[in-house]
Amino acid sequence: MQRRTFVQGLGLAGLAGGLGLLPGMSFANPANAVSVDSLPKLKGDLTLYLGRGEGGLYENVLEAIKKKNPGLNLQIRRGATAELANMLVAEAKAGVKRADLFWAVDTGSIGMITNQGLAKPLPDDVVNQLKPGFQYPMWSPVTGRIRTLPYNTERVRADQIPDSVMALADTDLKLGWAPAYASFQSFVTAMRILEGEKATANWLKGVNSKAKKYAGELGVVMGVERGEVDLGFANHYYTLRLKAGKPDAKVDIAYTKNDAGCLVNASGIISLTEGDLPINFIRYLLTKEVQSYLATEANEIPLVAGVAPPVGLTPLSSISPPDLDLRKLADIRPTLDLMRNVGVL
């Protein structure tokens, strides 16, 4: 996928004054989604810890925010989300305060920080902008992602795929997975919480006996499309991104029902310091412009009402995800121990 950048100098949708428009952006005025032009200017010093991910698209958002707000001195520390979360906890224990915001690509790391009491509460107007099910008082989801089963359309029919993720360990399908990938480990954490450790261990053993291992979930989807495996485990946007660049790709998405296989997870941001500046920064991420950009370019799910979802994705209303507080995904250590004990990691 070609990386897009902001178009400068346009005045539409309140983006004059240095913040360019995002390609493919919607200019509708959906309920509960505000424009950047309605927000106060950001002035002062902010340090953001940014979890790596999404092919630089988050960086595009940050660059646009800085151009819109020349009075903002934004310092960014980049790293793997889990590593940054551990760093924040260690800094807090040492009495060191370096970060004002933490933008994480998974809720497990978010839960780690909120469980440590490091997050500052969000005002009601920020929380209430988000869709039901994604409203949390101590952190703000930014975009959503669904666990899916990408499958090769020439090797497998949709009606051959079980609607239970647990049943896949007992099928004859050739599977692909990326067990070292953070999103996969969050999925296994959800399975462990929902199904119990014994059932999860048995599932991991069963899948491990027939699965091809990939370094990441884009690799899983590409392996599925090449026919190396019949079906894989991946977040939805990897398949949509592949199909966007290759419309005739031999891959489609299947969903399970009411289990970890269709978990709806989210990227999210936490304010770590008091004051208006970090809160107003979060407001920028929830604007219709940023949400539309991430839906269009990153194929992520907008979580503010009125912004169109990615093309090709089944609506959330038609999916049956498990009822699970995403903050529980912070309990990752037992998951890693379990995966090591059964020989997956």
Binding-site entries: 237-238
Contact 108, 186 (CB under 8 A): yes
The residue with tokens 């941001």 is 269
Query: What values do phi and psi take at 53, rounded to 5?
Result: 155, 170
**Would you list which residues are annotated within the binding site for Fe cation?**
237-238
Identity at 285, one-letter amino acid code: L
- d(CA 94, CA 155) in angstroms, rounded, equals 54
